[in-house]
Each structure stands twice: as C-alpha cells, then as structure tokens.
C-alpha cells in the first residue's frame, strides 16, 4: 500500500476512516483484526484506557490509542501526534502523522477546508454532510478575509504540488 505521496508537501494530517473491525477467533482466543488506514471504536469488553484502535497504513499493524498517552478532541483530532511503534525483529515502523479520526464524535464525516488568508494557506476541519454545510459550519460565507481554495471530505485531502497551491479531493 502506498501512503507516502511525495513530493506532496505539508500533508497536514492523516485521516483514518471509521470502520468496525471484526473480531476473529483464533487458537489464542478472540482477536481483533485491524483494517489498514482505518480506526475502530473500542469494543465493550476492552479496558477503559482504550480510547480507540487505529491500524497503521504503513506496517498494517493495529495500535491502541491509550487514555494516558492520547487525547481525542470532539473533531477526532488525536494529540499528541500518532507515532507507530510497531517492532518485530529488525523491522520497526516509523509512521508519524497528525491524525484525525473520521466520524469520531458525531456520525458525520470530517471535512477539511483550505483557505488563503494573509498569504498563508490554512486548513480547518469540521463535521458536515455536504460541502455547503461545511462552508456554513466554518463561517466561510461571511469571512471576507479568506479565499477558499478547496472544501472536501478530509479523507483523501492532499496537497498536490510542491508549493502547496493546489488541493484536491480524490
């Protein structure tokens, strides 16, 4: 799986899609099967410190977002940034991104919006069902100082060129 879209720059965040991961039964008992690049809500029988589970898009191993390490905002922003620490023999994963969990607290998808303000590109996030709803939610219709570059589902929101002028939603 290709996750690094270099030379794209300023990939502000990785947005994990929500997916309920299936439990599978193995000889060791039941085991949750991670789905690469997605997050799963905690199962009812998991320890309280489990905030959510994420599956690294690079090494495809699941990790726990632990309440003593991470906080998750109402927008689904994970802080501090997520560093995959999977290690197996001499393979160690170094995936490190700012992470958002799509459909975290509201069952609405996460939208990203890039605007040009005072010569700088800013990216903000909100929950919405449509581009119009996102535009209203972010107050962009009445914001005369901001030139909207793109609004779209946060998943697949990437800077396409080297100087960061073109954004696309793919």
Contact between 83 and Zn ion per CB under 5 A: no
Cβ closest to Zn ion, residue 55 vs residue 138: 55
For the chain, the helix, strand and coil percentages under 3-state DSSP, each to the nearest 5: 5, 45, 50
Residue 138 found at the interface with Zn ion (CB under 5 A): no
Q: In this chain, which of 46, 75, 86, 140 binds Zn ion, going by CB under 5 A?
A: 86
Check: CB of residue 59 under 8 Å from CB of residue 36.
no
Q: Which stretch binds Zn ion (CB under 5 A): 32-40, 47-55, 94-102, 154-162?
A: 94-102
How many residues bind Zn ion, per CB under 5 A? 7
63 vs 114, beta carbon nearer Zn ion: 63
Binding to Zn ion in span 18-77, by CB under 5 A: 56, 58-59
Closest CA to 111 of 146, 155, 74: 155
Output 58 or 77, the one with its CB closest to Zn ion. Answer: 58
- Tell the smallest beta-carbon distance from residue 48 to Zn ion (Å): 25
Q: Which residues fall within 8 angstroms of residue 83, CB to CB, at 6 or more apart?
A: 94, 95, 96
Q: How far is the CB of 42 from Zn ion (least distance, A)?
A: 20
Q: How far is it, in rounded angstroms, from Cα 15 to Cα 64?
A: 16
Q: Is 158 in the site for Zn ion (CB under 5 A)?
A: no
Whole-angstrom distance, CA of residue 126 vs CA of residue 15: 13
| DSSP notation for 96-127 | EEEEEETTSSSSS-EEEEEEEETTEEEEEEEE
- Residues lying near Zn ion in the complex (CB under 5 A): 56, 58-59, 84, 86, 93, 95
């Amino acid at each position: 799986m290709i996750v690094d879209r270099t030379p794209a720059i300023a990939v502000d965040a990785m947005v994990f899609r929500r997916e309920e991961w299936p439990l599978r039964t193995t000889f060791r008992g039941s085991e949750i099967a991670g789905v690469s690049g997605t997050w799963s809500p905690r199962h009812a029988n998991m320890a309280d410190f489990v905030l959510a589970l994420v599956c690294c898009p690079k090494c495809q191993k699941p990790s726990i977002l632990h309440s003593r390490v991470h906080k998750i905002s109402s927008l689904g922003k994970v802080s501090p940034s997520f560093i995959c620490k999977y290690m197996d023999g001499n393979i160690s994963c170094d995936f490190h991104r700012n992470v958002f969990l799509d459909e975290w607290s509201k069952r609405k998808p996460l939208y990203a919006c890039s605007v040009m303000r005072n010569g700088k590109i800013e990216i903000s996030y909100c929950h919405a069902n449509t581009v119009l709803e996102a535009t209203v939610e972010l107050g962009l219709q009445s914001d005369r100082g901001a030139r909207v570059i793109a609004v779209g589902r946060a998943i697949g929101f990437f800077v396409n060129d080297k100087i960061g002028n073109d954004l696309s939603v793919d």
